[in-house]
Amino acid sequence: MNENILLLKNLVIEYELKRYSIRAIDDVTMAFKRGSITAIVGESGSGKTTLASAILEVISSPGRIVSGDVIYFQDTKSKNFESDENDAGFATKINTLKPKQLNHYRWQECSMVFQGAQSSLNPVMTIFDQFSETMMVHANSETKHSELKERVLRRAKEVLEIVNLDVERIMPMYPHELSGGMKQRVMIAFSLLLNPKIIILDEPTTALDVITQDSIFRVLKKINREMGVTMILLTHDMGVVAKFADYVGVMYAGKLVEYADTRSVFAKRLHPYTNGLISATPSIIADNSALKPIEGTPPDLMALPSGCPFHPRCPKAFEQCPLLKPKLIDLDGHLVSCHLYHKEDLKA
Protein backbone atom coordinates (compact mmCIF):
# COMPACT_ATOMS: atom_id res chain seq x y z
CA MET A 1 0.00 0.00 0.00
CA ASN A 2 1.27 3.46 -0.89
CA GLU A 3 2.18 5.47 2.23
CA ASN A 4 0.66 8.57 0.62
CA ILE A 5 -3.09 8.88 0.18
CA LEU A 6 -3.06 12.20 -1.66
CA LEU A 7 -0.55 14.08 -3.78
CA LEU A 8 -0.64 17.64 -5.08
CA LYS A 9 1.74 17.74 -8.03
CA ASN A 10 2.96 21.08 -9.44
CA LEU A 11 -0.48 22.55 -8.77
CA VAL A 12 -1.21 26.03 -10.16
CA ILE A 13 -4.59 27.70 -9.58
CA GLU A 14 -5.56 31.06 -11.04
CA TYR A 15 -8.59 33.32 -10.84
CA GLU A 16 -9.07 34.82 -14.29
CA LEU A 17 -10.53 38.33 -14.24
CA LYS A 18 -11.20 40.66 -17.17
CA ARG A 19 -7.86 42.46 -17.18
CA TYR A 20 -5.54 40.12 -15.30
CA SER A 21 -5.22 36.80 -13.51
CA ILE A 22 -4.54 36.20 -9.84
CA ARG A 23 -2.35 33.19 -9.07
CA ALA A 24 -3.73 31.88 -5.76
CA ILE A 25 -1.70 28.64 -5.76
CA ASP A 26 1.75 28.75 -7.32
CA ASP A 27 3.37 25.42 -8.27
CA VAL A 28 2.60 23.55 -5.03
CA THR A 29 3.79 19.96 -4.65
CA MET A 30 2.84 18.26 -1.39
CA ALA A 31 2.13 14.68 -0.27
CA PHE A 32 -0.31 13.72 2.49
CA LYS A 33 0.56 10.52 4.33
CA ARG A 34 -2.12 7.91 4.92
CA GLY A 35 -3.57 8.00 8.45
CA SER A 36 -1.80 11.23 9.42
CA ILE A 37 -2.90 14.71 10.51
CA THR A 38 -1.30 17.35 8.29
CA ALA A 39 -1.71 21.02 9.20
CA ILE A 40 -1.63 23.72 6.53
CA VAL A 41 -0.77 27.02 8.18
CA GLY A 42 -0.36 30.61 7.05
CA GLU A 43 -1.97 34.02 7.29
CA SER A 44 -5.27 34.86 5.61
CA GLY A 45 -4.82 34.95 1.84
CA SER A 46 -1.94 32.46 1.83
CA GLY A 47 -3.93 29.92 -0.22
CA LYS A 48 -5.04 27.38 2.40
CA THR A 49 -8.75 27.32 1.51
CA THR A 50 -8.06 27.39 -2.23
CA LEU A 51 -5.82 24.36 -1.77
CA ALA A 52 -8.62 22.54 0.08
CA SER A 53 -11.09 23.51 -2.65
CA ALA A 54 -8.79 21.94 -5.25
CA ILE A 55 -8.65 18.67 -3.30
CA LEU A 56 -12.46 18.48 -3.42
CA GLU A 57 -12.67 19.96 -6.93
CA VAL A 58 -14.95 22.77 -5.74
CA ILE A 59 -12.91 25.84 -6.71
CA SER A 60 -15.28 28.78 -6.99
CA SER A 61 -15.60 30.57 -10.34
CA PRO A 62 -13.64 32.17 -11.97
CA GLY A 63 -10.91 30.07 -10.39
CA ARG A 64 -9.51 27.03 -12.16
CA ILE A 65 -6.57 24.63 -12.12
CA VAL A 66 -4.21 25.92 -14.80
CA SER A 67 -1.69 23.10 -14.50
CA GLY A 68 -0.71 20.25 -12.22
CA ASP A 69 -2.79 17.48 -10.67
CA VAL A 70 -4.56 16.39 -7.50
CA ILE A 71 -3.87 12.64 -7.28
CA TYR A 72 -5.78 10.29 -4.96
CA PHE A 73 -4.38 6.84 -4.16
CA GLN A 74 -6.88 4.07 -3.35
CA ASP A 75 -6.08 0.92 -1.38
CA THR A 76 -7.49 -1.20 -4.20
CA LYS A 77 -8.85 -0.60 -7.67
CA SER A 78 -12.27 1.10 -7.48
CA LYS A 79 -15.11 0.57 -9.93
CA ASN A 80 -16.03 4.23 -9.40
CA PHE A 81 -12.78 5.56 -10.88
CA GLU A 82 -10.69 4.98 -13.96
CA SER A 83 -7.44 4.50 -12.07
CA ASP A 84 -3.91 4.17 -13.40
CA GLU A 85 -1.99 1.34 -11.74
CA ASN A 86 1.69 2.07 -11.14
CA ASP A 87 4.37 1.65 -8.48
CA ALA A 88 2.46 4.08 -6.24
CA GLY A 89 -0.76 2.03 -6.35
CA PHE A 90 -4.12 2.84 -7.92
CA ALA A 91 -3.92 6.55 -8.73
CA THR A 92 -6.81 8.79 -9.79
CA LYS A 93 -6.49 12.39 -10.98
CA ILE A 94 -9.32 14.15 -9.16
CA ASN A 95 -9.29 17.17 -11.48
CA THR A 96 -10.17 14.92 -14.44
CA LEU A 97 -13.15 13.08 -12.89
CA LYS A 98 -16.62 13.16 -14.43
CA PRO A 99 -19.60 14.52 -12.39
CA LYS A 100 -20.82 11.06 -11.33
CA GLN A 101 -17.34 10.07 -10.21
CA LEU A 102 -16.94 13.34 -8.30
CA ASN A 103 -20.23 12.66 -6.54
CA HIS A 104 -18.77 9.42 -5.24
CA TYR A 105 -15.41 10.98 -4.33
CA ARG A 106 -16.96 13.81 -2.32
CA TRP A 107 -18.12 12.59 1.10
CA GLN A 108 -17.49 8.90 0.38
CA GLU A 109 -13.75 9.25 -0.19
CA CYS A 110 -13.05 12.82 0.95
CA SER A 111 -15.27 15.07 3.09
CA MET A 112 -14.90 18.49 4.69
CA VAL A 113 -15.80 20.28 7.91
CA PHE A 114 -16.31 23.87 6.80
CA GLN A 115 -15.45 26.96 8.80
CA GLY A 116 -18.47 28.21 10.74
CA ALA A 117 -20.81 25.33 11.58
CA GLN A 118 -23.87 27.59 11.75
CA SER A 119 -23.62 28.55 8.09
CA SER A 120 -23.05 24.93 7.06
CA LEU A 121 -26.28 23.60 8.58
CA ASN A 122 -29.71 24.25 7.03
CA PRO A 123 -31.67 26.32 9.60
CA VAL A 124 -35.10 24.97 8.51
CA MET A 125 -34.24 21.25 8.60
CA THR A 126 -33.74 18.98 11.58
CA ILE A 127 -30.42 17.23 12.02
CA PHE A 128 -32.10 13.92 11.10
CA ASP A 129 -33.47 15.39 7.85
CA GLN A 130 -30.05 16.72 6.92
CA PHE A 131 -28.40 13.38 7.63
CA SER A 132 -31.12 11.67 5.55
CA GLU A 133 -30.70 14.05 2.62
CA THR A 134 -26.95 13.49 2.50
CA MET A 135 -27.26 9.70 2.57
CA MET A 136 -30.11 9.75 0.02
CA VAL A 137 -28.05 11.70 -2.51
CA HIS A 138 -25.25 9.14 -2.28
CA ALA A 139 -27.39 6.00 -1.83
CA ASN A 140 -27.89 3.29 -4.39
CA SER A 141 -30.95 4.17 -6.50
CA GLU A 142 -32.36 0.68 -5.81
CA THR A 143 -32.38 1.20 -2.02
CA LYS A 144 -35.91 1.28 -0.60
CA HIS A 145 -37.04 4.29 1.44
CA SER A 146 -37.72 2.19 4.56
CA GLU A 147 -34.27 0.61 4.31
CA LEU A 148 -32.65 4.01 3.86
CA LYS A 149 -34.38 5.46 6.92
CA GLU A 150 -33.22 2.52 9.02
CA ARG A 151 -29.69 2.90 7.66
CA VAL A 152 -29.69 6.66 8.43
CA LEU A 153 -30.77 6.05 12.04
CA ARG A 154 -28.17 3.34 12.52
CA ARG A 155 -25.32 5.32 10.98
CA ALA A 156 -26.36 8.56 12.71
CA LYS A 157 -26.26 6.81 16.07
CA GLU A 158 -22.76 5.52 15.31
CA VAL A 159 -21.26 8.86 14.24
CA LEU A 160 -22.99 10.95 16.92
CA GLU A 161 -21.71 8.60 19.59
CA ILE A 162 -18.20 9.03 18.20
CA VAL A 163 -18.44 12.79 18.81
CA ASN A 164 -20.06 12.29 22.22
CA LEU A 165 -23.61 13.45 21.38
CA ASP A 166 -26.91 11.82 22.39
CA VAL A 167 -28.61 10.66 19.19
CA GLU A 168 -32.13 10.63 20.67
CA ARG A 169 -31.78 14.23 21.76
CA ILE A 170 -29.91 15.64 18.75
CA MET A 171 -31.71 14.10 15.75
CA PRO A 172 -35.05 15.98 16.09
CA MET A 173 -33.39 19.32 16.89
CA TYR A 174 -32.86 22.31 14.60
CA PRO A 175 -29.43 24.02 14.32
CA HIS A 176 -30.51 27.07 16.36
CA GLU A 177 -31.25 24.76 19.30
CA LEU A 178 -27.62 23.61 19.48
CA SER A 179 -24.68 25.35 21.13
CA GLY A 180 -21.63 26.30 19.07
CA GLY A 181 -19.68 23.27 20.26
CA MET A 182 -22.60 20.93 19.56
CA LYS A 183 -22.97 22.30 16.02
CA GLN A 184 -19.30 21.70 15.36
CA ARG A 185 -19.57 18.14 16.66
CA VAL A 186 -22.60 17.57 14.40
CA MET A 187 -20.54 18.79 11.43
CA ILE A 188 -17.74 16.38 12.35
CA ALA A 189 -20.35 13.60 12.53
CA PHE A 190 -21.61 14.72 9.10
CA SER A 191 -18.12 14.38 7.67
CA LEU A 192 -17.94 10.78 8.97
CA LEU A 193 -21.39 9.80 7.70
CA LEU A 194 -20.22 7.94 4.58
CA ASN A 195 -16.93 6.56 5.97
CA PRO A 196 -14.50 8.79 4.05
CA LYS A 197 -10.77 8.11 3.95
CA ILE A 198 -9.89 11.85 4.15
CA ILE A 199 -11.42 14.72 6.12
CA ILE A 200 -10.49 18.36 5.49
CA LEU A 201 -10.95 20.62 8.53
CA ASP A 202 -11.16 24.34 7.80
CA GLU A 203 -10.61 26.19 11.09
CA PRO A 204 -12.93 23.70 12.87
CA THR A 205 -12.96 25.54 16.22
CA THR A 206 -13.43 29.15 15.09
CA ALA A 207 -15.34 31.31 17.64
CA LEU A 208 -15.41 28.54 20.26
CA ASP A 209 -14.00 28.89 23.77
CA VAL A 210 -10.66 27.21 24.53
CA ILE A 211 -12.19 24.40 26.60
CA THR A 212 -14.60 23.46 23.80
CA GLN A 213 -11.77 23.75 21.26
CA ASP A 214 -9.63 21.31 23.21
CA SER A 215 -12.56 18.89 23.56
CA ILE A 216 -13.24 18.93 19.81
CA PHE A 217 -9.60 18.38 18.92
CA ARG A 218 -9.46 15.43 21.30
CA VAL A 219 -12.43 13.93 19.45
CA LEU A 220 -10.68 14.51 16.12
CA LYS A 221 -7.46 12.95 17.39
CA LYS A 222 -9.43 9.90 18.56
CA ILE A 223 -11.10 9.55 15.15
CA ASN A 224 -7.73 9.79 13.45
CA ARG A 225 -5.97 7.26 15.67
CA GLU A 226 -8.78 4.70 16.09
CA MET A 227 -10.39 4.88 12.63
CA GLY A 228 -7.29 5.69 10.59
CA VAL A 229 -8.93 8.68 8.86
CA THR A 230 -6.42 11.00 7.20
CA MET A 231 -6.97 14.62 8.23
CA ILE A 232 -5.94 17.91 6.63
CA LEU A 233 -6.20 20.80 9.10
CA LEU A 234 -6.32 24.41 7.87
CA THR A 235 -5.51 26.75 10.75
CA HIS A 236 -3.79 29.90 12.02
CA ASP A 237 -3.22 28.46 15.49
CA MET A 238 0.36 27.22 15.87
CA GLY A 239 -0.43 25.97 19.40
CA VAL A 240 -3.04 23.59 17.99
CA VAL A 241 -0.58 22.50 15.29
CA ALA A 242 2.11 21.69 17.86
CA LYS A 243 -0.29 19.60 19.93
CA PHE A 244 -2.28 17.69 17.31
CA ALA A 245 -0.56 17.63 13.90
CA ASP A 246 1.89 15.02 12.63
CA TYR A 247 3.11 17.11 9.68
CA VAL A 248 3.08 20.81 8.87
CA GLY A 249 2.99 22.65 5.54
CA VAL A 250 3.57 26.41 5.69
CA MET A 251 1.96 28.52 2.95
CA TYR A 252 2.81 32.08 1.95
CA ALA A 253 1.39 34.00 -1.03
CA GLY A 254 0.15 30.77 -2.62
CA LYS A 255 3.48 28.95 -2.31
CA LEU A 256 4.59 26.11 -0.04
CA VAL A 257 7.60 27.55 1.81
CA GLU A 258 8.27 24.78 4.34
CA TYR A 259 7.12 21.20 4.98
CA ALA A 260 8.25 18.55 7.44
CA ASP A 261 7.07 16.57 10.46
CA THR A 262 5.81 18.80 13.26
CA ARG A 263 8.75 18.24 15.59
CA SER A 264 11.25 19.22 12.90
CA VAL A 265 9.32 22.33 11.85
CA PHE A 266 9.14 23.67 15.42
CA ALA A 267 12.72 22.69 16.27
CA LYS A 268 14.43 23.96 13.10
CA ARG A 269 12.14 26.73 11.76
CA LEU A 270 14.18 26.85 8.57
CA HIS A 271 12.10 29.48 6.79
CA PRO A 272 12.05 32.98 8.37
CA TYR A 273 8.27 33.11 7.87
CA THR A 274 7.81 29.87 9.83
CA ASN A 275 10.01 31.27 12.58
CA GLY A 276 7.89 34.42 12.60
CA LEU A 277 4.63 32.47 12.96
CA ILE A 278 5.97 30.42 15.86
CA SER A 279 7.64 33.39 17.56
CA ALA A 280 4.34 35.31 17.48
CA THR A 281 2.40 32.52 19.24
CA PRO A 282 1.65 33.23 22.93
CA SER A 283 2.11 30.54 25.59
CA ILE A 284 0.66 30.03 29.05
CA ILE A 285 3.93 28.54 30.37
CA ALA A 286 6.64 30.56 28.55
CA ASP A 287 7.75 34.17 28.93
CA ASN A 288 5.59 36.13 26.49
CA SER A 289 7.65 39.31 26.80
CA ALA A 290 9.79 38.03 23.92
CA LEU A 291 6.84 37.68 21.51
CA LYS A 292 7.63 39.22 18.14
CA PRO A 293 4.95 39.92 15.52
CA ILE A 294 5.80 39.59 11.84
CA GLU A 295 6.28 43.10 10.53
CA GLY A 296 4.23 44.32 7.59
CA THR A 297 1.23 42.69 5.94
CA PRO A 298 0.76 39.77 3.51
CA PRO A 299 1.40 40.77 -0.12
CA ASP A 300 -1.30 41.71 -2.61
CA LEU A 301 -1.58 38.75 -5.01
CA MET A 302 -2.28 41.21 -7.83
CA ALA A 303 1.06 42.93 -7.22
CA LEU A 304 3.48 40.40 -5.76
CA PRO A 305 7.01 41.63 -5.00
CA SER A 306 9.78 40.38 -7.27
CA GLY A 307 11.89 37.42 -6.27
CA CYS A 308 10.91 35.83 -2.98
CA PRO A 309 7.43 37.13 -2.04
CA PHE A 310 8.40 37.26 1.66
CA HIS A 311 11.54 39.38 1.25
CA PRO A 312 9.91 42.80 2.08
CA ARG A 313 9.00 41.42 5.55
CA CYS A 314 11.97 39.11 6.07
CA PRO A 315 14.55 39.99 8.76
CA LYS A 316 17.15 37.82 6.99
CA ALA A 317 16.65 39.15 3.46
CA PHE A 318 19.80 39.89 1.42
CA GLU A 319 20.63 41.05 -2.09
CA GLN A 320 19.60 37.76 -3.78
CA CYS A 321 16.06 37.72 -2.37
CA PRO A 322 14.42 40.41 -4.59
CA LEU A 323 16.08 39.00 -7.73
CA LEU A 324 15.13 35.31 -7.90
CA LYS A 325 12.26 33.12 -6.75
CA PRO A 326 13.66 30.41 -4.45
CA LYS A 327 13.08 26.78 -5.34
CA LEU A 328 11.64 24.21 -2.94
CA ILE A 329 14.57 22.01 -1.91
CA ASP A 330 14.76 18.84 0.16
CA LEU A 331 17.12 18.90 3.16
CA ASP A 332 16.99 15.31 4.43
CA GLY A 333 13.19 15.14 4.26
CA HIS A 334 12.67 18.74 5.40
CA LEU A 335 11.39 20.86 2.49
CA VAL A 336 12.12 24.60 2.43
CA SER A 337 11.93 27.37 -0.15
CA CYS A 338 14.45 30.03 0.87
CA HIS A 339 17.62 31.55 -0.61
CA LEU A 340 19.43 30.96 2.68
CA TYR A 341 19.72 27.35 1.56
CA HIS A 342 20.16 27.87 -2.20
CA LYS A 343 23.91 27.69 -2.55
CA GLU A 344 23.69 26.85 -6.25
CA ASP A 345 21.79 30.10 -6.89
CA LEU A 346 24.35 32.14 -4.99
CA LYS A 347 27.12 30.85 -7.24
CA ALA A 348 25.21 31.74 -10.42
Task: Give CA separation, 64 vs 53, 60, 128, in Å.
Answer: 10, 8, 35
Residue 273 near residue 294 (C-beta atoms within 8 A): yes
Residue 81 near residue 25 (C-beta atoms within 8 A): no
| Region of residue 299 (left: phi > 0; alpha: psi -120 to 50; beta: else) | beta
The CATH 3.40.50.300 domain(s) of the chain lie at 4-109+197-215+224-306
Burial of 112 by CB count in 10 Å (0-12 exposed, 13-18 middle, 19+ buried)? buried
Residue 85 near residue 61 (C-beta atoms within 8 A): no
pLDDT higher than threshold 50 for residue 170: yes
Whether residue 62 has a cis bond before it, omega within 30° of 0: yes
Distance CA 217, CA 220 (A): 5
Of the candidates 70, 29, 32, the one whose C-alpha atom is nearest the C-alpha of residue 247 is: 32
Q: Give the per-residue pLDDT at 161.
A: 92
**pLDDT tens column, 254-281:** 999 999 999 999 999 999 999 999 988 8
42 contact partners, CB below 8 Å, separation of at least 6: 48, 236, 250, 251, 252, 277
Residue 251 near residue 46 (C-beta atoms within 8 A): yes
pLDDT higher than threshold 50 for residue 311: yes
Amino acid, single-letter form, for residue 127:
I
Question: Going along the chain, which residue ranges are E strands?
Answer: 4-16, 21-33, 37-41, 63-74, 84-86, 89-93, 110-113, 198-202, 230-235, 247-252, 255-261, 329-331, 334-336
Using DSSP's 3-state secondary structure scheme, residue 156 falls into helix
Cα 189 off chain centre by: 17
pTM, rounded to two decimals: 0.91
4-109+197-215+224-306 folds as Rossmann fold (3.40.50)
Distance CA 25, CA 76 (A): 30
311 contact partners, CB below 8 Å, separation of at least 6: 305, 317, 321, 322
Average pLDDT rounded to a whole number, residues 114-135: 86
Angle between helices 210-227 and 180-192 (to 10 degrees): 10
Distance CA 78, CA 83 (A): 7
Average pLDDT rounded to a whole number, residues 100-125: 88
**pLDDT tens column, 218-245:** 999 999 999 999 999 999 889 899 999 9
Of the candidates 106, 96, 105, the one whose C-alpha atom is nearest the C-alpha of residue 74 is: 105
219 contact partners, CB below 8 Å, separation of at least 6: 162, 163, 164, 185, 188
**pLDDT tens column, 182-227:** 999 999 999 999 999 999 999 888 778 888 888 999 999 999 999 9
